[in-house]
Structure 1
Amino acid sequence: MSLRLHQDFTLTETDFGAVLLHRRRGTYWQLNPSGALIVTSLLGGSDADGAVQRLVEQYDVDPGQARRDVDSLVADMRAAGALR
């Protein structure tokens, strides 16, 4: 599930995660560090399993919870039109 951002969106990493900006609308979403890890993993070519594994390794979170977090964030980004 390697993903790409829609052309109207830009992702910028920050000291506290990342910001996802819709350039035409001027709206943005603040991603916490775990959200930023998920998005950068998926945009970097990892599939959902890879993003889950990185969450588990980085934050020592339960794999089931990590899977739900990945799936939820991807669903939210798709609903916002951020992914293609």
Structure 2
Amino acid sequence: MVARPVGLPHPAISQRCRRGGDTVTSLRDDVSVCSADDGMVLLDERSGRYWQLNVTGAEVLSALLSGATPQEVAARLAASRAVDEQRAAADVAALLDQLVKAGLVRVS
């Protein structure tokens, strides 16, 4: 579930999610996002940099933006894939941290 740069234009969506026990987080206003056949693409309009999430990463981000907690997302992953919940929780946290560090998601 690594976010990596790509190069396609996409429309803007503004959504919110919860980050563990933290306050509400959201995609930055200047981040555009679009679903793709192989995942999801995010555009940082400030820098012009694109990020691509694979199918699992897209499912994780979509669930978070729909209001699921990281723990809920990890439990869903563990139930539907060959991964234990502890590993799934670490992967969800790593993806969310990566998106925060990239400036694509902000904590309110």
TM-score with structure 1 length normalisation? 0.89
For residues 13-34 of structure 1, the C-alpha deviation after alignment (integer angstroms, 9 at most, x for no partner) is 1100101111232111110111
Larger radius of gyration: 2
User: Which 5+ residue runs of structure 2 have no aligned equivalent?
Assistant: 1-16, 19-24
Unaligned residue ranges in structure 1 (runs of 5+): none
Q: What is the distance in 1 between the residues matched to 2:96 and 2:67? A: 14
Q: Percent identity?
A: 36
Aligned partners of 1:70 and 1:32: how far apart in 2?
A: 13
Instruction: Name the structure with the higher helix share.
Output: 1
**Does 51-60 or 29-38 show the bigger shift?**
51-60
Q: Which has the higher strand share?
A: 2
Aligned residues: 84
Off by >6 Å, runs of 4+ in structure 1: none
Which residue of the partner structure matches residue 54 of structure 2? 32
Residue 101 of structure 2: aligned partner: 79
What is the DSSP-based 3-state SS (H/G/I as helix, E as strand, rest coil) of the residue aligned with 1:4? strand
CA RMSD of aligned residues (A): 1.4
